[in-house]
Chains A and B, each alone.
Chain A
């Protein structure tokens, strides 16, 4: 019975949103209400996720599991950020600067590390694999677009070279368009499966 109720609710809400979307602005109030409910439910789910995360780390500290020090760091950082937001307010300039001063350098350092790792991986890729069709295709395209992005050939301002560059720069367009069409078809199919009750993640 619970399963059937979940299926009926999911299909009913899905159909209502689709119909309301096509009959805008006539059904805007209903659509807005359903969307607000969805946002509230999503926020509650996020809250449950945060509480679960905190409990998991708390258990790790209590049981003194391996690397429990990191769990302690997570809880401490969360407590400080949370208290700062409660006391000072999320829009407070000091609070925002404080958070940005912590988060931006950390994430930028990670990105720099990623660039270094990718360079190393690219070097090792050719060294270990030798010349295979895959490595050749990857190598030529990577080198080509790295050199194009440097901007040396564009700075020459030769009409013939510019035409070639323009052609090369439009090559990824075809791939991008294909990926987007694939994503759209996948989303459409998933939506239809949910509406027809074939896809039932909520029932599991």
Chain B
């Protein structure tokens, strides 16, 4: 408020300076200290803003119809080197191509500026007219009569009357100043009344946020244009009237001193003055006026914006509108819904997986044809002699143990039936105890106790791929001293001395390491693979190339292998649970697929509506 008053005084001073030279300083001397401080502070702020805006861009003052000169440039002009001056002079004098080009560009720029200014002025006039008529209609609807300006005279303080007289907005002005009567005062919103420093900044910030062009200068241009129009339309009689201000300014100083003690009153009076401009009672702050202007301006038919700009502006509007609203509540509701849906999904999947375990009473072997690679693996195991050493590599993580143990367990039992010597090894640290666990869960039958006792766990093979290559060169030196000696493997000195290498791998990386580093060292020893379902497709090329002699992957093939062996340990229960789980997943995908169709249709409809 203090800033507004100071800016009002400053605006008044600026106009009076134009009219009658530096007369105002005398009045300033009479101002109380507080107001003088405010005035000086505001003046310095205005100077700073003006200098920055002038240095950034050339602002066109339509009131005077002149382009505001750029002091910074003119000052810099003094430091221009001689050669540049010559070039500029030549460009100005000579009508060569370069000179023409510069002239054309300048002419085009000036015409563009004029167009933009005219358009802005037209938009502003339209807007203020609509605003006034709306306010009048609203007042009529609410039962308010337009304020009688004369009735307010009693309430209007003397300082405001003086100001109005100086601006020519009082009804008792001399003849020939009719258009500055109160009814017209609303049309010509004085710049000092409608603008405070804070409000200007807020409006400029809003303008920037709206993404409007030339956001830094438009508010200022409108203000300048408003004052310019005032100056243009001010009759000569008013100029004479203003000369009386010299004497009246002393009174103004005295009145202003009283006002410093009645700031609340001033606020009320300012609001009443604003309201009188619109013909409605109640406060109409300049901020609201500017907001209304920008709000309506975006809908103006003259406004040409790209669709992307409009959508961004709408998004910003929505964000601003959502500001302060209980968004957190909506987000919480959404989270709750998502959580509930996930819970339902989990329950559905769990029910599908658990149900087969409870419902199936008899175990039936799986039907189908055993794949060729699984048949080859079976044939390789069948060809093994009793007591022959078989290397089993347990390179899988604990997370895959549920699947791998079901598939590998079958082969372990098959190997145990053949009475072979199992040698376990892993390049995974956890593979050491997973190997032991695999033997424990697979060889539960007493018939396999001897095989279980003879099984050797060599433990962890360090070094990754380097370790594998080292192991392929010399199997014994890859382990700590004593490990190989105590493992009862006298007949094995090299990896090729094993009768079979069976790799249980859950990832392609691990399988590749064995195939590429150890594979070339295996001359007459078959390498076989047990893989997880997800990696089976990646192993197929190695099967086709003959690097792998056989492979078993996934529960389905394991079920078929089991059926071929005549075993029914894992048969119906696990397989049925697996099938049920897959079926529910497929059904959910299908539901999502159908809902996606609806989403697609809705999106298309919205696009068509927009077009």
Contacts and interface: CB of A to CB of B under 8 A. Distances in A.
A109 B173 CA distance: 89
A9 B168 CA distance: 92
Interface stretch (B80-88, B110-118, B459-467): B459-467
Nearest to A177: B541
B477 interface: yes
Interface string A173-192: 10111011001000000000
Interface stretch (A55-63, A142-150, A196-204): A142-150
B68 interface: no
A154 interface: yes
Nearest to B539: A176
Interface residues of B, number: 63
Given A116-B349, A147-B586, A176-B537, A96 B599 contact: no
A42 B592 contact: no
Contacts of B512: 183
A31 interface: yes
Contact of A126 (B430, B460, B466, B595): B595
A130 B603 contact: yes
Given A147-B586, A173-B541, A176-B537, A35 B473 contact: yes
Contact of B432 (A96, A106, A146): A96
Contacts of B556: 149, 151, 154
A131 B597 contact: yes
**Chain A contact patch, size range:** 35 or more
A28 B473 CA distance: 7
Contacts of B388: none
Nearest to B397: A107
Interface string A152-173: 1011010000100000001011
A176 B537 CA distance: 6
Interface stretch (B21-29, B290-298, B433-441): B433-441
Interface in A67-104: 90-91, 93, 96-97, 99-100, 103-104
Contact of B600 (A119, A122, A130): A130
B589 A123 contact: yes
Contact of B589 (A24, A111, A139, A149): A139
Given A100-B433, A116-B345, A151-B368, A139 B593 contact: yes
A93 B455 CA distance: 14
Interface string A100-128: 10011011101100011001101111111
A111 B399 contact: yes
A39 B473 CA distance: 14
B538 interface: yes
Contacts of A131: 596-597, 600
Contacts of B369: 154, 157, 162
B540 A90 contact: no
Contact of B463 (A43, A124, A143): A43
Contacts of B46: none
A155 B544 CA distance: 26
The DSSP consensus for interface residues of chain A is helix
Interface in B355-403: 366-369, 397-402
Contacts of B397: 107
B596 A126 contact: yes
Nearest to A106: B398
A99 B597 CA distance: 49
B596 A157 contact: no
Contacts, number: 172
B457 interface: yes
Contacts of A146: 582, 585-586, 589
A109 B599 CA distance: 34
Interface string B26-38: 0000000000000
B416 interface: no
B137 interface: no
Given A35-B473, A39-B466, A104 B582 contact: no
A104 to B, nearest CB: 5
Given A146-B582, A176-B541, A103 B430 contact: yes
Contacts of B464: 42
A146 B544 CA distance: 24
Contacts of A43: 462-463
Contact of A103 (B398, B582, B596): B398
A94 B513 CA distance: 31
Contacts of B466: 35, 38-39, 42
B157 interface: no
Contacts of B140: none
A100 B477 contact: no
A97 B440 CA distance: 10
A124 B139 CA distance: 53
A123 B398 contact: no
Contacts of A122: 585, 588-589, 592
Most chain-A Cβ atoms within 10 A of its Cβ — which of B399, B434, B581, B595? B399
A176 B592 contact: no
Contacts of B544: 173
Contacts of A52: none
* Closest 9 pairs between A and B when the two form their complex, measured CB to CB: A107-B399, A126-B592, A130-B600, A39-B463, A172-B537, A126-B596, A96-B433, A123-B592, A107-B398
Interface of A: 24, 28, 31-32, 35-36, 38-39, 42-43, 90-91, 93, 96-97, 99-100, 103-104, 106-108, 110-111, 115-116, 119-120, 122-131, 135, 139, 142-143, 146-147, 149-152, 154-155, 157, 162, 170, 172-173, 175-177, 179-180, 183
9 contacts: A24-B473, A35-B467, A35-B473, A104-B398, A119-B349, A127-B595, A128-B596, A152-B579, A154-B369
Given A42-B466, A146-B586, A176-B537, 4 more contacts: A96-B437, A123-B589, A130-B596, A180-B541
